[in-house]
Amino acid sequence: MPPSARRRQLLTSRVVFLFALLWAVSSWTLILKSLPPAHPHTISLPQVQHQQNREGARSLEAAEAPHNEQQQQLSVPTTPLVYPLHATKGTHHAYLYIGNPPQRQTLIVDTGSRLTAFPCQPHCPDCGTHASEQFHLEKSSSHEVMPCSSCMLSNTNAEDVFASDGLGGLRGRKQFPNSCYSGKCEIEQSYTEGSSWKAFEVKDKVWIGTDDEKSSMKEHESHAAPFVFGCQVTEEGLFKEQYADGIMGLSMYTQTLAGIFSQFNSIPHESFSLCFNKVSGQLALGGTVQNHSSQMQFTPFAKKNTWYYSVTVKSVYVGTHKLPGAFMQYMNDFKGTIVDSGTTDTFLPQKIAKPFIKAWEGISGRRYTNNLQLYTYEEFGKLPTITFELEGGLRWEVEPFNYMEDVSDNTRLSQTPWHGKRGFISRMYVTEPKGAVLGSNTMMNHDIYFDIANRRLGVAKASCT
């Protein structure tokens, strides 16, 4: 993997993903093989009929995107269901309370994954030490181990998986079919750098909370909904070393939290927003906080029949320099441009590297590199803002302080002047073979609204405090 594969937290890089469908000897057996990418997930095509779009990726027919003009006119619901996030090494985390009585887990908020999983006692004795104690399965009176006849995380319609050129994953992982082991639905995931985990499916009552366990338990009683997650039994590699207990998949999939909470009327609208700054942030369920410093703009989701949040990039500006329009096809190839909160860095197509680097170096007077460079305050002030203009006219500005990592202090909330030189590393990589990934560094100081019900993305500047 290139330097972009640097893993400040477990999930910071992705690779292009391709599904291949093979029909087996008998007419009732489907075998899915996949070579994916980000927060890999395992898909097993069930032999029994299940509800359309209930266990699978959202299809365009299920939620037809309105025209751009209509999207701009749609109201944005406000919500009182707002919960704090905290950041470690560029990755943002939320508290999830599970079971009866509720137990807390600290999870990465990841719009690039459809699965939620974390270690469970007593089933993962060799799992690493993380932010919280392991979820103790037997101490929750409301838990249900899913039998093989009722697997939920593997029930995906073939046409949903293989539409749109087989989209469905990002960087770096291998997927394996779900299997039935000792009467449980087993999920196994492996990452290309050598990490892996195994889990079995469990259903229990869940709700988001805060670090105040007493008040969070009260909210859990009022809002919690039954949700299927992965109870990890093994962790290998970087999974053992990460701060987070596990991962909270927030992709556009019915078995993620927004879909389940909406289904059980725990939230009034199938949507959520993420607002990040360097050290903290907010997760709003069912709408936004609307404490914005600019008006929210919208763009439709680009790809149909996929659970990733893909958008169409019309133009890229380096400072005021607009890259040639012919290069935009590479931003929108295959999986398109994915908005992924679980990836700390941003990856642009390698085919736009030449014009991008030429423009950046012409403005800054510095060589563009993803290695450490020293800057005075005045030199840093010459670096250009990178702007992505999306379909519908949305302009998403990424300032230097967000795409350049301050290696001496990555938690500073403002660019206060400094004396001498400071070390920075550009975390915007122009190396992606196809499409692009807008990671969490592009989301800093913005409220990003994931409107699943209306198939649109909203972006507004905000302090996120």
More confident residue, 188 or 39: 188
Residue 176, SS3? coil
pTM score of the predicted model: 0.82
Q: Give residue 139's identity as a one-letter amino acid code.
A: K
pLDDT over 70 (residue 16): no
What is the tens place of the pLDDT at every residue in 362-395?
999 999 999 999 999 999 999 999 999 999 999 9
Question: How far apart are alpha carbons 183 and 415 in whole angstroms?
Answer: 56
What is the tens place of the pLDDT at every residue in 69-87?
555 668 888 999 999 999 9
Phi, psi angle pair for 84, to nearest 5°: -75, 150
Buried b (16+ CB within 10 A) or exposed e, 9-25: bbbbbbbbbbbeeeeee
Q: Which residues, including other chains, have CB under 8 Å from residue 396's CB and lie 6 or more apart?
A: 387, 388, 389, 390, 438, 442, 446, 459
pLDDT over 90 (residue 40): no
* Alpha carbon 286 to chain centroid, angstroms: 17
User: What is the pLDDT, as a whole number, of residue 159?
Assistant: 34
Percent of the chain with pLDDT over 70: 77
Q: Give residue 77's identity as a one-letter amino acid code.
A: P
Question: How far apart are alpha carbons 160 and 183 in whole angstroms?
Answer: 27
Q: Are 41 and 151 spatial neighbours (Cβ–Cβ below 8 Å)?
A: no
Query: At 11, is the pLDDT very low, low, confident or very high (cuts 50, 70, 90)?
Result: very low
User: What is the pLDDT, as a whole number, of residue 465?
Assistant: 86
More confident residue, 146 or 35: 146
Q: Are 39 and 171 spatial neighbours (Cβ–Cβ below 8 Å)?
A: no
Q: Are 9 and 91 spatial neighbours (Cβ–Cβ below 8 Å)?
A: yes
Pick the CATH number of 85-285 from 2.40.70.10, 3.40.50.800, 3.30.1540.20, 3.55.10.10: 2.40.70.10
Q: In sequence order, what DSSP letters do the residues of 342-402 get, joined into one string?
A: T-SSEEEEGGGHHHHHHHHHHHHSS---SS-EEE-HHHHTTSPPEEEEETTS-EEEE-HHH
User: What is the pLDDT, as a whole number, of residue 29?
Assistant: 35
Task: Kindly report which listed range (166-180, 255-269, 408-422) carries the lowest average pLDDT score.
Answer: 166-180
- β-sheet bridge partners, residue 229: 202
What is the tens place of the pLDDT at every residue in 395-442?
999 999 999 999 987 666 667 899 999 999 999 999 999 899 999 999
More confident residue, 50 or 263: 263
User: What is the pLDDT, as a whole number, of residue 171?
Assistant: 36
More confident residue, 193 or 165: 193
User: What is the pLDDT, as a whole number, of residue 191?
Assistant: 63
pLDDT over 90 (residue 173): no
Residues in the chain: 465
- Positive/negative CA dihedral, 280, 285, 291, 292: positive
- β-sheet bridge partners, residue 91: 88
Query: At 64, is the pLDDT very low, low, confident or very high (cuts 50, 70, 90)?
Result: very low
Phi, psi angle pair for 368, to nearest 5°: -85, 125
Percent of the chain with pLDDT over 90: 62
Strands (E), 194-256: 196-209, 225-236, 246-249
Question: How far apart are alpha carbons 83 and 88 in whole angstroms?
Answer: 17
Q: Which residues, including other chains, have CB under 8 Å from residue 313's CB and lie 6 or more apart?
A: 328, 331, 332, 337, 388, 389, 390, 391, 436
Residue range(s) occupied by CATH 2.40.70.10 in the chain? 85-285, 297-461
Q: What is the mean pLDDT of residues 312-327?
A: 98
Query: At 303, is the pLDDT very low, low, confident or very high (cuts 50, 70, 90)?
Result: confident
Q: Are 56 and 160 spatial neighbours (Cβ–Cβ below 8 Å)?
A: yes
User: What is the pLDDT, as a whole number, of residue 164?
Assistant: 34
Q: What is the DSSP letter of 154?
A: T
User: What is the pLDDT, as a whole number, of residue 37?
Assistant: 37
User: What is the pLDDT, as a whole number, of residue 306?
Assistant: 82
Query: At 92, is the pLDDT very low, low, confident or very high (cuts 50, 70, 90)?
Result: very high
Q: What is the mean pLDDT of residues 432-460?
A: 96
Q: What is the DSSP letter of 59?
A: P
pLDDT over 50 (residue 181): yes
Q: What is the mean pLDDT of residues 229-255?
A: 91
pLDDT over 50 (residue 127): yes
User: What is the pLDDT, as a whole number, of residue 401?
Assistant: 95
Question: How far apart are alpha carbons 108 and 343 in whole angstroms?
Answer: 10
- Which two tokens mark 164? 């749109």
Average pLDDT of the chain to the nearest whole number: 81
Q: Does domain 297-461 have CATH number 3.30.1360.120?
A: no
